[in-house]
Structures are given as C-alpha cells and as structure tokens.
Chains A and B, each alone.
Chain A
Amino acid sequence: AQTVTQSQPEMSVQEAETVTLSCTYDTSENNYYLFWYKQPPSRQMILVIRQEAYKQQNATENRFSVNFQKAAKSFSLKISDSQLGDTAMYFCAFMINQGAQKLVFGQGTRLTINP
C-alpha cells in the first residue's frame, strides 16, 4: 500500500518570504505521479503542481517549485515570494499510473502567510 506523510501540521511565514513544505511517500511502484494541492477555506481543492516520477527535472510553476528526490521518496514544495493568498491547507498526493489512478493524500500542512 502507498502512504504519504506530511510531517509539518502547521507553518507560518511572513509575506514575501520563501517557505518549504515537506512530503515523503512510500511505494514499491516505479511509474507514478506526485501532486501538491492547495485547499483554501472555500474547500476547493486546487492543483498547484505535478511531477511525473520518470522525469528527473523538478517541476516549476511560477513561484512554486518542487524538490523531487526519487531515491529518498521525498517531494517537497517551495513557495517563493509568498503572498497572503497562499494561505491555505496544502496536501501532497500520490497516484499510481495504472488502474483507478486514485489519489493518496497526506494529512496536510496548514500554511499561514502573515502580513
């Protein structure tokens, strides 16, 4: 079975700072995807960034980037120049590239950006 662990229940930084959220996962599969989702108070889950396991290059999306360490099974999210609108729950998720392709989620990290 696959598991995803987010070891930081809460984090808080000042606006414009850089913050890194940690995520580790456990799997015996080799073909999978990793995701970071953002959930603001509205409850809407929003995809922030995705990473294919076969790609060595780390994914980036504007201020968001990941550090994907496949051997260590680590997938951290870095938010640069943080903004007040980044305040949300952040979930790391894992998906095997076969079958139901269901997402397995971590417990989440509550990130607060302070003015």
Chain B
Amino acid sequence: GAGVSQSPSNKVTEKGKDVELRCDPISGHTALYWYRQSLGQGLEFLIYFQGNSAPDKSGLPSDRFSAERTGGSVSTLTIQRTQQEDSAVYLCASSLTGGSRREQYFGPGTRLTVT
C-alpha cells in the first residue's frame, strides 16, 4: 500500500515569509508525528497527534510553529515569519497505536531552505 507522503519535496523561501508543509499518513494510522532534522543532525521531535486527542506540542521550538490535523488524516505544519535557523528537513511519520505495533513509518521529508 501507499506509504507516508509529504509535499513539497523541497521548498525555498525568503526570510520572513510563511510556509506550509503537508503530510499524508498511511491510511488507518491514527498517530502522526512531525520531526525536524537539521543539517548533519539527528531528528528532533516537534509535535504528535493521536486520534481526536489534544496534540502534544512539547517539541515546537517557538510560537511561530503550529500544526493541525484535519479529519484525523492529513496534517499541515505551518512556520510563520521564517528564519534562517528554520532551514532543515521536516519529516513526518505515522503509526498504528495499541498492541505491539509501534513502528513509525516515515515520509521522504520536505527540505526547507530559508534565504
């Protein structure tokens, strides 16, 4: 079946502009995660959605970052007033919850470059 998809694949924006990054999780996966990978670094947790529960936003680095998940499926990560330090690869992952199936399946990521 289809995996996690993300769009756009690459995004170049000017400092100060807003950007939206999209994630389509695997059908039937109720959990959705956003991570950020800065150049040459490991992944950093940003936000977690689980069904209709309130999201866990504990990883968002500033109030310029927000995310929503509509209808329990597609998610959008929005970065307002982008800064150069926001340049990174943004990865989305989804997973089943419950039982022992907790593997997170990752999308290909969106590479964001802020000039």
Query: What residues of chain A have their CB less than 8 Å away from a CB belonging to chain B?
Result: 4, 33, 35, 37, 42-47, 50, 52, 91, 93, 95, 97, 99-108
Mask for B16-28, Cβ within 8 A of A = 1, else 0?
A: 0000000000000
CB-based contact B108/A44 at 8 Å: yes
Interface pair A102/B42, CB less than 8 Å apart? no
**When the two chains form their complex, are residues B108 and A104 in contact, meaning their CB atoms are under 8 A apart?**
no
The CA-CA distance from A56 to B89 in the complex, in Å, is: 36
**Residues of B bordering A, CB below 8 Å:** 31, 33, 35, 40-45, 48, 50, 56, 58-59, 89, 91, 93, 95, 97, 100, 102-109, 111
> Which of A46, A91, A95, A101 contacts B43, CB < 8 Å?
A91
Asked whether, in the complex, the Cβ of A43 is within 8 Å of the Cβ of B104, the reply is no
Q: Is the CB of A106 within 8 A of B48?
A: no
With both beta carbons as reference points, the residue of chain A lying nearest to B42 in the complex is identified as A105
